[in-house]
Amino acid sequence: QVQLVESGGGLVQAGGSLRLSCAASGRTFSVYFMGWFRQAPGKEREFVAAISRSGGTPYFADSVKGRITISRDNAKNTVDLQMNSLKPDDTAVYYCAAAMQATTRRWQYSYWGQGTQVTVDS
Protein backbone atom coordinates (compact mmCIF):
# COMPACT_ATOMS: atom_id res chain seq x y z
CA GLN A 1 0.00 0.00 0.00
CA VAL A 2 0.98 3.61 -0.44
CA GLN A 3 -0.23 6.86 1.10
CA LEU A 4 -0.35 10.02 -1.01
CA VAL A 5 -0.48 13.65 0.11
CA GLU A 6 -0.83 16.57 -2.32
CA SER A 7 0.41 20.08 -1.69
CA GLY A 8 1.02 23.31 -3.57
CA GLY A 9 -2.52 24.33 -4.43
CA GLY A 10 -3.75 27.87 -4.05
CA LEU A 11 -5.19 30.93 -5.72
CA VAL A 12 -3.54 32.33 -8.83
CA GLN A 13 -4.46 34.77 -11.57
CA ALA A 14 -5.09 33.67 -15.12
CA GLY A 15 -1.81 33.26 -16.94
CA GLY A 16 0.06 32.44 -13.78
CA SER A 17 1.87 29.29 -12.75
CA LEU A 18 1.57 26.78 -9.96
CA ARG A 19 3.54 23.71 -8.97
CA LEU A 20 1.76 20.83 -7.28
CA SER A 21 3.58 18.10 -5.44
CA CYS A 22 2.54 14.65 -4.29
CA ALA A 23 4.49 12.94 -1.52
CA ALA A 24 4.24 9.18 -1.16
CA SER A 25 4.93 6.88 1.75
CA GLY A 26 4.52 3.18 2.37
CA ARG A 27 5.38 0.70 -0.35
CA THR A 28 8.31 1.44 -2.61
CA PHE A 29 7.26 4.45 -4.66
CA SER A 30 9.11 3.50 -7.82
CA VAL A 31 6.86 0.51 -8.55
CA TYR A 32 3.83 2.72 -9.24
CA PHE A 33 2.60 4.40 -12.36
CA MET A 34 1.55 7.86 -11.16
CA GLY A 35 -1.26 10.04 -12.41
CA TRP A 36 -2.86 13.41 -11.74
CA PHE A 37 -6.61 13.95 -11.96
CA ARG A 38 -8.84 16.92 -11.30
CA GLN A 39 -12.47 17.46 -10.42
CA ALA A 40 -14.45 20.68 -10.69
CA PRO A 41 -17.79 21.14 -8.87
CA GLY A 42 -20.56 19.26 -10.63
CA LYS A 43 -18.19 17.55 -13.04
CA GLU A 44 -16.63 14.12 -13.36
CA ARG A 45 -13.11 13.56 -12.17
CA GLU A 46 -10.94 13.78 -15.26
CA PHE A 47 -7.47 12.69 -16.21
CA VAL A 48 -4.76 15.35 -16.41
CA ALA A 49 -1.35 13.70 -16.72
CA ALA A 50 0.55 10.53 -15.92
CA ILE A 51 4.12 9.32 -15.77
CA SER A 52 5.78 5.93 -15.94
CA ARG A 53 7.73 4.25 -13.16
CA SER A 54 11.06 5.37 -14.57
CA GLY A 55 9.91 8.92 -15.33
CA GLY A 56 9.76 8.53 -19.08
CA THR A 57 6.89 8.57 -21.57
CA PRO A 58 4.60 11.11 -19.89
CA TYR A 59 1.00 11.36 -21.05
CA PHE A 60 -1.18 14.47 -21.00
CA ALA A 61 -4.81 15.26 -21.56
CA ASP A 62 -5.43 17.35 -24.68
CA SER A 63 -6.72 20.23 -22.57
CA VAL A 64 -3.38 20.73 -20.83
CA LYS A 65 -0.80 19.76 -23.45
CA GLY A 66 1.85 22.41 -23.81
CA ARG A 67 1.03 23.98 -20.45
CA ILE A 68 1.85 21.19 -18.02
CA THR A 69 4.95 19.22 -17.14
CA ILE A 70 4.89 16.12 -14.99
CA SER A 71 7.98 14.76 -13.28
CA ARG A 72 8.89 12.33 -10.55
CA ASP A 73 11.78 11.86 -8.18
CA ASN A 74 11.89 8.28 -6.99
CA ALA A 75 14.66 9.09 -4.50
CA LYS A 76 12.39 11.63 -2.79
CA ASN A 77 9.17 9.67 -3.35
CA THR A 78 7.49 12.62 -5.04
CA VAL A 79 5.70 13.41 -8.27
CA ASP A 80 5.21 17.02 -9.35
CA LEU A 81 2.86 18.79 -11.71
CA GLN A 82 4.11 22.11 -13.06
CA MET A 83 1.23 24.12 -14.47
CA ASN A 84 1.78 27.23 -16.57
CA SER A 85 -0.51 29.64 -18.41
CA LEU A 86 -3.33 28.73 -16.09
CA LYS A 87 -6.91 29.36 -17.14
CA PRO A 88 -10.12 29.69 -15.11
CA ASP A 89 -11.18 26.32 -16.55
CA ASP A 90 -8.25 24.78 -14.68
CA THR A 91 -10.00 25.51 -11.39
CA ALA A 92 -10.57 22.20 -9.63
CA VAL A 93 -9.44 19.95 -6.84
CA TYR A 94 -6.34 18.15 -8.05
CA TYR A 95 -5.62 14.60 -6.97
CA CYS A 96 -2.58 12.41 -7.36
CA ALA A 97 -3.08 8.68 -7.70
CA ALA A 98 -1.06 5.48 -8.01
CA ALA A 99 -1.67 2.51 -10.28
CA MET A 100 0.10 -0.77 -10.87
CA GLN A 101 -0.10 -0.45 -14.65
CA ALA A 102 0.15 2.33 -17.20
CA THR A 103 -3.35 3.78 -17.51
CA THR A 104 -5.36 6.98 -17.81
CA ARG A 105 -8.55 5.42 -16.49
CA ARG A 106 -9.70 6.58 -13.08
CA TRP A 107 -11.03 3.23 -11.94
CA GLN A 108 -7.68 1.53 -12.51
CA TYR A 109 -5.91 3.67 -9.91
CA SER A 110 -5.70 1.94 -6.55
CA TYR A 111 -4.55 4.75 -4.25
CA TRP A 112 -5.57 8.39 -4.01
CA GLY A 113 -4.55 11.49 -2.13
CA GLN A 114 -7.02 13.84 -0.47
CA GLY A 115 -6.63 16.51 -3.13
CA THR A 116 -5.47 20.11 -3.22
CA GLN A 117 -7.56 23.05 -4.39
CA VAL A 118 -6.44 25.10 -7.37
CA THR A 119 -8.38 28.29 -8.09
CA VAL A 120 -7.62 30.47 -11.11
CA ASP A 121 -9.09 33.97 -11.20
CA SER A 122 -10.32 35.32 -14.51
Q: 46-93 pLDDT, tens per residue?
A: 999 999 998 888 999 999 999 999 999 999 999 999 999 999 999 999
Give the model confidence (pLDDT) of 5-38 as tens digits. 999 999 999 999 999 999 999 878 899 999 999 9
Identify the sign of the CA torsion 5, 7, 10, 16.
negative
Closest CA to 118 of 14, 4, 11: 11
Q: How far is residue 77 CA from its own chain's centroid?
A: 14
Q: How many whole angstroms separate alpha carbon 8 and alpha carbon 18?
A: 7
